[in-house]
Amino acid sequence: MLLVIPSLFIIVPLYECKYGETRQEVVDRPNSALIWNWGDLSLIADHSNQENFSNLNKAIPNRTKLYIYGDKEVKKYICDSSEVGFIRTESGHNNLYNSKGHLVFSLNLKGLVIYTCIERVSPTMTNVRLTHWKEV
């Protein structure tokens, strides 16, 4: 699969974890972003210094469009929201929160969430650019 956000100059292949591979290993590889599913929600992550992911902060709700090219279809999305959230390490797991402190996985979101790290603010917390996209 290929993620394309034309107005943000983001074009990157999407990869799921292979057996024995960690999510971090996929994100760390150049020219790759991680994709995985959580119910009706798909998540994409990459480093802000790779593949122009720092441009996510320029996504404009209801205007910025993206495309995911698969083998047989193209899925189209539009940005629904953009905010600064955070990742907190708790009991050895990294949990993703929105700007209001709600766990993203508990919000019953559908569509797509794309995020990238902004800055580490403590040994257990990192600010992230968090964007939500709706399929059109």
Give 49-94 pLDDT, tens digit per residue: 888 999 999 999 999 999 999 999 999 999 999 999 999 999 888 8
Q: How confident is the model at residue 23 (pLDDT cuts 50, 70, 90)?
A: confident
Quick count: other Cβ atoms within 10 Å of Cβ 55? 17
Tell me, which fold does domain 2-135 have in CATH?
Sortase; Chain: A; (2.40.260)
- Of 116, 122, 119, 112, the residue nearest 40 (C-alpha): 112
Q: How confident is the model at residue 21 (pLDDT cuts 50, 70, 90)?
A: low
- Taking the model in full, what pTM does it have? 0.92
Q: Domain locations in the chain?
A: 2-135
Taking only the tens place, the pLDDT of each residue in 84-131 is 999 999 988 889 999 999 999 999 899 999 999 999 999 999 999 999
